[in-house]
Amino acid sequence: MESPSQKPRDWDDYVVGFPMVMWAASFFFPALIGPKSNWIFPGTTPGYEAALGSLLALVALLVLAVMRPPTAPIASLPKLGDLLLIASVCSLWLANVWMLLAPAMSKRIRRGEGRFYLVTLWLWVFAPLPIPIRISAERSDFRGTKLAIGFYVWWASFLLLAILCTNLHLRSRQTTLEPYPQPPAKM
């Protein structure tokens, strides 16, 4: 029979299950709602198409960077806010890889390892934020494209996963402290 102190640790094996279910469900919710004239995302776009679009945006950005003539003027570069938005959109597909790594990495985090994964997971929580911030700053949509519930469920799944993995990490580091530390023995 297991002791009561081991019971909570049994749930640690399944703690990433709920964020992963949220994440998987977000692919079938509408993530973007664009105008019918938009050739990239016309109409309602489910999350799986938005993820594919993010990967294709990265490929297009890399192709444009390679094809850009070296004599192009610096003034043709986008502003910092636009660069953050482009980097955010182009990197979102990679966050999905981090979610797929969650079951294996949560076991490493419980053992006190996996700090790199935990730090980068928190980076993936903050990476999509330029998109809703830009939309909020324009007080409407972004060039006719609006974020829908799928984006927010997708983002919330990463936030929940980061919080749960941080909890696992903090619990793995707990040590028992002596109430009255003893001085080192003299030799």
- Whether 29 is in a domain gets the answer yes
What per-residue confidence (pLDDT) applies to 37? Answer: 61
Q: What strand order describes the sheet that includes 43-46?
A: 43-46, 30-34, 146-147
- Whether 18 is in a domain gets the answer yes
- Whether 1 is in a domain gets the answer no
Q: Report the percent of the chain where pLDDT is more than 90.
A: 16
- Whether 137 is in a domain gets the answer yes
pLDDT in tens, 134-165: 776 665 555 566 778 888 999 999 999 999 99
pLDDT in tens, 70-106: 665 555 555 655 666 666 677 778 888 889 999 888 8
Identify the band that residue 68 occupies on the pLDDT scale cut at 50, 70 and 90.
Answer: low
Q: What dihedral do alpha carbons 74, 76, 81, 84 form, nearest 10°?
A: -80
The domain in which residue 168 lies consists of 9-68+76-172
Residue 24: HSE in the Cβ half-sphere, 13 Å Cα cutoff: 8
Query: How many domains does the chain divide into?
Result: 1
In this prediction the pTM is 0.72
Q: Report the percent of the chain where pLDDT is more than 70.
A: 63
Identify the band that residue 8 occupies on the pLDDT scale cut at 50, 70 and 90.
Answer: very low
3 state SS of 145: strand
